[in-house]
Amino acid sequence: MNIYERPTQEDLQRLLHIGEQRGFPGMFGSIDCMYWEWENCPTAWKGMYSRGTGKPTIVLEAVASYDLWIWHAFFGAPGTMNDLNILDRSPVFDDIINGIAPQVNFYVNDNRYHFGYYLTDGIYPKWTTFIQSIRLPQNQKHLLFAQTQESVREDVERAFGVLQARFVVVKNPSKLWDKEKIGNVMRACIILHNMIVEDEWAPFTQYNKFEFQPREVSDTFTVNMPSNIGENVGTTMDRRTRLRNRQIHENLKDDLIENIWAKFEHLPNNM
């Protein structure tokens, strides 16, 4: 089951603007997985849905923004899978690979990049579209980057917590037998959660809250929706290769380390 609420151009600009203010130009949000216990999993399936001697679970992969808006959710993978296995099944990058995703250009440390990215934990691969923390920072720059990345990445963890707090049915083990019905429950909860989040935007949509605030620097990104893109460059394989380019990942991470140091180094407690 895939729940994909394609962000509009205004949504993307809002996400990118907030990401830039938080030290991560080009960031769309954070991605992670949540495990929902399946109490009445059929006996024949328990081996597939149980990790080790644990209880059967079904996995939700989600992308959440700073305001806990969940705009991508992929639900239904067996609990024996880890985040990497689920990523192989997930359609999160299908639009990019198929050449129909919005074209995003942004600058970090005066270098130009063409793929937005998500903040992740260490299990995710070192692709152009993922930025992980630094496990053992060896200097102040790396320490500040790790602290900032881990703080911002908690958006998706908070989204899972709020989803479970709002809808106890998702927090407690599912007592349904039919996996399709379980998926419909999850879909309904995420849709209602997003409706609440979007309703909370209402007081701020009457005007552009950034319009009347002094801006130190202008935004460094541009967003072109698919209808505005003349021709997508390269083949599907070319786009897949660029999506998984480790060298671009390393360059982007180095530039983000420098950007965060320049932006937050002078603040009290470096935060």
- 138-168 in b/e burial notation, b at 16+ Cβ within 10 A? eeebbebbbbbbeebbebbeebbebbbeebe
Q: Is 73 helix (H, G, I), strand (E, B) or coil?
A: strand
Residue owning tokens 């192989």: 88
Q: Is 136 left (phi over 0), alpha (psi -120 to 50) or beta?
A: beta
Q: What is the average pLDDT across 199-207?
A: 59
Residue owning tokens 């359609």: 91
What would the pLDDT profile of 170-183 be if each residue is shown by its tens digit? Answer: 999 999 989 999 99
What is the pLDDT at residue 112?
Answer: 94
What is the pLDDT at residue 212?
Answer: 37
pLDDT at 229 over 70: no
Bridge-partner residues for 3, per DSSP? Answer: 73
What is the pLDDT at residue 127?
Answer: 95
For the chain, helix, strand, coil in percent to 5 are: 45, 20, 35
What is the pLDDT at residue 207?
Answer: 39
pLDDT at 209 over 50: no
When pLDDT is cut at 50, 70 and 90, the band that residue 224 belongs to is confident
What is the pLDDT at residue 94?
Answer: 87
Long-range contacts of 202-210 (CB under 8 A, 24+ apart): 210/17
| Least confident piece of the model among 26-35, 92-101, 250-259 | 92-101
pLDDT at 195 over 60: yes
Amino acid at 156: V
Residue owning tokens 């409706």: 195
For residue 247, the tally of other CB atoms under 10 A from its CB is 9
What is the spatial distance between Cα 81 and Cα 73, in angstroms, rounded to a whole number?
16
**Cβ atoms of 36 and 171 closer than 8 Å:** no
The more confidently predicted of residues 47 and 6 is: 47
pLDDT at 201 over 90: no
What is the spatial distance between Cα 11 and Cα 69, in angstroms, rounded to a whole number?
11
Q: Cβ contacts of residue 165 below 8 Å, gap of 6+? A: 171
When pLDDT is cut at 50, 70 and 90, the band that residue 7 belongs to is confident
| Half-sphere exposure of residue 9: CA atoms within 13 angstroms, side-chain side | 9
Bridge-partner residues for 108, per DSSP? Answer: 111
Mean pLDDT of the chain: 86
What length does the chain have? Answer: 271
